[in-house]
Structure formats: C-alpha cells, structure tokens
Amino acid sequence: MTRPEIIGSERSSYTRVVRMVCEEKGIAYDLTETLLGAADIRALHPFGKMPVLRHGDLVLCESKAIATWLDRAFAGPQLIPSDPRLAALTEQWISFINTAIDPLLVRRYLLAYAAPKGADGKPDRAAIEALLPDVRAQLALLDGAVAATNHLVGDSFTLADIYLLPMLHYLKLLPESGAMLAPSTALGRYLEIHAARPSYVRTVPPLAPPRRAPAA
C-alpha cells in the first residue's frame, strides 16, 4: 500500500498539524516540500492553500478533513475521541482555533513580525501594540483552558491540542507572547510538556521564514 503524501511546507503550521497526526498514529508518510502559492498546490486546492494529502487515488485538501480521515482510516490512538461529548468539545476547540485564534495570533500578530508591510521592513509597532489587548485575552483564555489537565479536552491528548501546539511554537519566539508563555504560566507548562512529545520534536520547523513561489 502506498504511503500518504503530504504536500506542503514544513514551516506551515497546518502542514505540521497533519504531520503530527501521522506521527501520533505511527503512519509512515512522505512530505513533498513546496512553496506557498506554488503551481503543484494550486492544482490540487481550489484556493492554493496547504497542506494537500494524496493517497492512492484519494486527494484531500484542508487540514481538518485530512486529519479526520487519517484518524479514522488508520490504526493508532484516537485523536478525535469516540465519546460524543469529548468529540464535540474537540471539534469546538478546533473551530475556535481555526476561526478566531489563528486569525488573530498568527495571521495578524505573528505576521506583523514575520512579514512586516512597512517600506523599511521593520515590524509596525503601532499595529502590534493595538493587537496586544486581544492577544493577551486569547492567551489568557487558553491558559485557563489547559490549567486543570494540561489538555484542551478532558485529560487526554486530542486533535485540538495538535492544532494549538504549532501555533504556540511560533508565539513562544516573539517578545510579548513569549513572556505570556513563560514556564510559570499554565499555558507555558502545557507547551513545555507537549514539546517533549516525539510527534512535536520530529516536526519542529526550521527558523527561516517561509518563501512564496514567484508569480506566474
């Protein structure tokens, strides 16, 4: 049987989600490294986003669809719990992360550092300062969510945690969010604990920023 092929970038948080699912479940896979906006991604995803998964004649895009299929199609620990209540809570947290937390913490705050739009190439301090109250509020919400069990859902590692950890990896590198992820905080301890997981260690991205493919 062919191995699943993940097409994306090792620097992409959503590509890392899918890779961590494979690592947690013991699925051997191939990573085809590509650039943001590359033709091979545009040919498989209607909006040119990564990752895409190819397995035999199955082609899937969107990380949540890919992760759910991998969890159901392969043996190994269940990352979406079978208990309906815990499964619903897992889906709820993934939705929060994808629709509210990632757009603020990654697409706006993180990218203000990683891809500044100013002519001088420096981060826009005014924009960052304006975002910080909401950044603090979201990280406080997450801090409270993991304080009791070091997991987002119940007392076991789920797909919700896998969605959050790649984001925290990058936020730990920035000055304001890094301070909010100090080991003295519940969220900092949560990151420290799960950063020791083999699935996390094996998928740590390089520090260099992602590149984009040249315009066609």
How confident is the model at residue 209, as a pLDDT?
53
Mean pLDDT is lowest, of 39-43, 156-160, 201-205, for 39-43
How confident is the model at residue 214, as a pLDDT?
38
CB 1 within 8 A of CB 28: no
How confident is the model at residue 117, as a pLDDT?
76
How confident is the model at residue 208, as a pLDDT?
61
How confident is the model at residue 1, as a pLDDT?
57
Task: Identify the residue with better confidence: 49 or 86.
Answer: 86
CATH code: domain of residue 124 = 1.20.1050.10
Distance CA 194, CA 156 (A): 12
78 assigned to some structural domain:
no
Nearest to 52 by CA among 34, 75, 76, 74: 34
45 assigned to some structural domain:
yes
Both 53 and 117 in one domain: the answer is no
How confident is the model at residue 179, as a pLDDT?
96
15 assigned to some structural domain:
yes
Global pTM value: 0.93
Distance CA 43, CA 80 (A): 30
Q: Between the CA of residue 162 and those of 55, 111, 112, what are the distances in Å?
A: 22, 21, 24
Both 127 and 182 in one domain: the answer is yes
Both 54 and 102 in one domain: the answer is no
**In the chain, % of residues over pLDDT 90:** 80
